[in-house]
Amino acid sequence: MKESPVAGESGCIFPEIRGMETPLLLMDLRVVGRNVELLRNAFPDVDIWYALKSNPDERVVSCLATLGVGFEVASASELRAVLGLGIPSDRIVCLHTIKSPAFVRLLHDSGISVMAVDCREEVQKLATIAPRSRVVVRLETDGHGSRVRLGGKFGCAPDEVVELARLARRSGLESAGVTMHVGSQCEAIATWLGALNLCRAVCERLAEVGAPPEIISLGGGLPVPYTTSVPPLAAIGGLVRDAAIQRCGTAGCRVTFEPGRSIAATAGTLVTSVIGTATRGGERWVYLDAGIYQGLFEWLPAAGGFAMPIVADHGERPFQRCRLAGPTCDSLDVLPGEFNLPELRTGDRLAFRFAGAYSTSVSTTFNGFDPPRVVLVGTGGDSRDG
Ligand SMILES: Cc1ncc(COP(=O)(O)O)c(C=O)c1O
């Protein structure tokens, strides 16, 4: 039998939301701010462009805008959201490599000039629809040790990066540099080291062919300590510093990260309620009002197999082994493994910490169950709509 990776903690779950209907994603903007500060301390000469896909809540985005962060968008709707908040186009980039023609047109018309490519077809698309764009070519790196690997679907080999940069120039685009992504939640320091070394080698080759990078984008992938320890940001910061990759760029070369998870995850807590219990074949099943389709998608092994710390009220009750499932009719809607939690009854609450990233943004309304409502906490209780 598979053991639960997390145990319940006792303590009253957020008395300030007592009486409010669940599921709720409680976002604490103070933690968002603290995470930005931690990133800036770990990567002092690096610009931060927040990847909206991790949590596009407008209050999170506004908070980041006031902190001077830039934004990475991957769709027309993300772009409209940031523009709608008054964020100027020079603080927005699109590093998604395959974009629909309509999205490219919207980016171009909105004055967003930094876009990523990783194949000839996309270079041609941009040359036709968005001439003079500042193109960064996505380098494929080894995703070993990352929970969510992105290689294969995106990126190209070093030789191709150089070739595409040349093609971009010949096609009336600007070759602005390189982008990479080691995969989300990259917990292997050796993978970071390998990717940064590879990135530096590619930047050197671009400089040799007369196209030194103006932008070197290091992507996302910065890990969050969900239930196990991960390489500290400072260690990854040390590798970035030692790699000195900006030296292979132009004089004013900008090095950037586009973090999503490492800004949003620890700022969010998903609060659910038990809607029913059952005993099946000697196993205790606990059904929650949010599951795989309402914020807990990343628990699926195919989505990374993340396990977030769980907080349960009623620590005085005896602990009991149980399975946890979401409210829908789908058999996929079950958290993997078994959990050891205080005996749970219908109406009890159960919270998942560090659930601020890729939770509401990948929620669905499958079966008619709404995604969790986002509520701000720790702000004096002034902003609870969402
Ligand atoms: C192009 C790009 N940049 C940044 C990110 C954010 O990555 P993370 O959430 O690991 O920081 C992603 C996520 O998939 C991405 O595709």
Q: What is the whole-number distance in angstroms between the Cα of residue 289 and the centre of ligand 1?
A: 28
- Test site for ligand 1: of 50, 60, 72, most ligand atoms within 8 A of the Cβ: 72
Architecture of domain 15-26+265-377: Beta Barrel (2.40)
Task: Spell out the long-range contacts of 90-99 with Cβ–Cβ below 8 A and sequence spacing 24 or more.
Answer: 91/65, 93/49, 93/217, 93/258, 95/136, 95/138, 95/179, 95/217, 95/219, 95/258, 97/122, 97/138, 97/154, 97/155, 98/122, 98/154, 99/125
Q: Which atom of ligand 1 is nearest to the CA of 264?
A: 9
CB of 356 within 6 A of ligand 1: the answer is no
Domains 15-26+265-377 and 30-263 share a fold: no
Q: What is the whole-number distance in angstroms between the Cα of residue 80 and the centre of ligand 1?
A: 19
CB of 223 within 6 A of ligand 1: the answer is no
Measured by CA distance, the residue closest to atom 12 of ligand 1 is: 220
Q: Are 222 and 259 spatial neighbours (Cβ–Cβ below 8 Å)?
A: yes
CB of 260 within 6 A of ligand 1: the answer is yes
Q: What distance in Å separates the CA atoms of residue 158 and residue 155, rounded to the nearest whole number?
A: 10
User: Which residues have C-beta within 8 Å of that of residue 207, sequence separation ≥ 6?
Assistant: 213, 248, 249
CA separation (Å) from 203 to 156, 161, 169, 198, 212? 14, 10, 16, 9, 7
Q: CATH assignment of 30-263, given 3.10.105.10, 3.40.50.2300, 3.20.20.10, 3.90.180.10? A: 3.20.20.10
User: Domain limits of the chain?
Assistant: 15-26+265-377, 30-263
Q: What is the whole-number distance in angstroms between the Cα of residue 258 and the centre of ligand 1?
A: 6
CA separation (Å) from 199 to 31, 167, 216, 217, 255? 31, 19, 8, 10, 12
pLDDT, mean over the chain: 93
Q: What distance in Å separates the CA atoms of residue 18 and residue 24, rounded to the nearest whole number?
A: 11
Provide the residue-wise pLDDT of the chain in tens; the chain has 386 residues: 333 444 444 456 777 788 899 999 999 999 999 999 999 999 999 999 999 999 999 999 999 999 999 999 999 999 999 999 999 999 999 999 999 999 999 999 999 999 999 999 999 999 999 999 999 999 999 989 999 998 888 999 999 999 999 999 999 999 999 999 999 999 999 999 999 999 999 999 999 999 999 999 999 999 999 988 999 999 999 999 999 998 999 999 999 999 999 999 999 999 999 999 999 999 999 999 999 999 999 999 999 999 999 999 887 899 999 999 999 999 999 999 999 999 999 999 999 999 999 999 999 999 999 999 999 998 644 343 43
Cis peptide before 23 (omega within 30 of 0): yes
CB of 51 within 6 A of ligand 1: the answer is yes
User: Which residues have C-beta within 8 Å of that of residue 250, sequence separation ≥ 6?
Assistant: 212, 213, 214
CB of 72 within 6 A of ligand 1: the answer is yes
Helix axes 120-129, 158-170, angle to 10 degrees: 20
- Test site for ligand 1: of 78, 181, 257, most ligand atoms within 8 A of the Cβ: 181
Q: What distance in Å separates the CA atoms of residue 60 and residue 83, rounded to the nearest whole number?
A: 14
Looking at the DSSP bridge assignments, the partners of residue 363 are none
DSSP string, 188-255: -HHHHHHHHHHHHHHHHHHHHTT---SEEE--S-----SSS----HHHHHHHHHHHTGGGGS-TTPEE
CA 374 to mean position of chain CA atoms: 17
Q: What is the whole-number distance in angstroms between the Cα of residue 17 and the centre of ligand 1?
A: 31
Q: What distance in Å separates the CA atoms of residue 137 and residue 218, rounded to the nearest whole number?
A: 12
Read off the tokens for 266: 């620890």
CB atoms within 10 A of CB 168: 26
DSSP string, 141-197: ---TTEEE--BTTB-B-HHHHHHHHHHHHHTT-EEEEEEE---EEE--HHHHHHHHH
The CA-CA-CA angle for residues 348, 340, 360, to 5°, reads 55
pLDDT of amino acid 381: 44
Looking at the DSSP bridge assignments, the partners of residue 137 are 117, 178
pLDDT of amino acid 385: 40
Q: What is the whole-number distance in angstroms between the Cα of residue 359 and the centre of ligand 1?
A: 14
Q: What is the whole-number distance in angstroms between the Cα of residue 265 and the centre of ligand 1?
A: 13
CB of 99 within 6 A of ligand 1: the answer is no
